[in-house]
Amino acid sequence: MRPLVALLVLVCLSSSLRADDFPPELVRFKQHGDKPVFTAAGQETWEVKIRERGWIHLDPTADGTDSAKLKYRMWYTGYDGTREGIKRLGYATSIDGIAWTRHEANPIDDRHWIEDMSIVPPVGQVGNRSHGWHMFAEGRDDQAQLLTSRDGVKWQRSGQLDVRKANGDPIEPGPYGTPTAWLENGVWHLFYERSDAGVWLATSRDLKVWKNVSDEPVLRPGQGIHDRDLIAMNQIVKHKGRYYAYYHGSAKGETPSLWSTCVAVSDDLRSWKKYDNNPLLPRELNRSSGIVIRDGDRFRLYTMHSEVWLHE
């Protein structure tokens, strides 16, 4: 190989293999304590079990210094433990993100089937002054839906999401769930899975019609046994100018089925590179539906199915 060609190859390789692709604060977590920080209320309640991805949000403080004003919010799905049990929305708050208090009016929505939610906060927290809280969630039969709220407690259902192919035709009938939303520069980005076979991306400016950026998945299973056959995205985090997708994956045909929490990085929300050391936690722990919270200069990882564990 000629020296110039060799140099060009080396430059290309070095540009695609960045040392800071996955900074340690986003991938290295240690379990907090020896017990989950939140579990289902149990028998004789409306939440015999909790299910799939909930959502955790940390409200900003008035001046950024008074830790007593920290308020963690958690939305979660409770049900009676049966396969067909209606999935209802619960709500809890915490000062420290460890000890949680359930809302006295739980379930806070008893009218709709709500599970696997992703929540975008209101004005002052995402830089868009035209909206309150937005919840993207699965409804019955894994159909993605939108709900809105002024306070994060009382929710109004807007309806099922209208997702189209790249050419504007409706996507094929069937499940489309685990909706994960990201808002930037007036454009809404919706990541969704179809039977956990891959993650697709659709965008919208009006929240009424969503169009695929491509009819092929932007994230596929297959890195290893931890995501060999099944994959779903949980959250997008922007850190140091780059996007990080926290997702969970699994392999078919296992008893019991084990799900793992993983991460991938992107510069444009469309092309993703998976972390070489996925999964982030030992696979045998079976912890999925991961949500990362920025608390000052540190990050916390919560896994939320079927009980909430904290990793710091």
pLDDT at 9 (0 to 100): 39
Q: In terms of pLDDT, which residue wins out, 59 or 159?
A: 159
Q: How many CB atoms sit inside 10 A of residue 174's CB?
A: 10
pLDDT at 8 (0 to 100): 40
**In which band, very low, low, confident or very high, does the pLDDT at 20 lie, cut at 50, 70 and 90?**
confident
Domain topology for 40-311? Tachylectin-2; Chain A (2.115.10)
pLDDT at 16 (0 to 100): 52
Rounded mean pLDDT of 108-126? Answer: 87
5: pLDDT strictly greater than 90: no
Rounded mean pLDDT of 50-61? Answer: 91
**pLDDT tens per residue across span 229-275:** 999 999 999 999 999 999 999 999 999 999 999 999 999 999 999 99
CA angle, corner 15, sides to 13 and 17, nearest 5?
70
3: pLDDT strictly greater than 60: no
First-to-last CA distance in the chain?
A: 48
pLDDT at 102 (0 to 100): 98
Asked if 31 and 303 count as a contact pair (C-beta separation under 8 A), the reply is no
Whether this model's pTM surpasses 0.75: yes
Alpha carbon separation from 175 to 158, 169, 220 (Å, rounded): 19, 17, 17
Q: What burial letters (b/e) apply to 120-141, b meaning 16+ CB within 10 Å?
A: bbbeeeeebeeeebbbbbbbee
Cα radius of gyration rounded to whole Å, the chain: 20
pLDDT at 297 (0 to 100): 82
Q: 7-16, 52-61, 284-293: which has the minimum mean pLDDT?
A: 7-16
Rounded mean pLDDT of 59-70? Answer: 58
pLDDT at 12 (0 to 100): 42
Q: Is 147 exposed, middle or buried (0-12, 13-18, 19+ CB in 10 A)?
A: buried
Q: 22-26, 61-65, 104-108, 155-159: which has the minimum mean pLDDT?
A: 61-65
Rounded mean pLDDT of 128-144? Answer: 86
Provide the token pair at 236: 């997008």
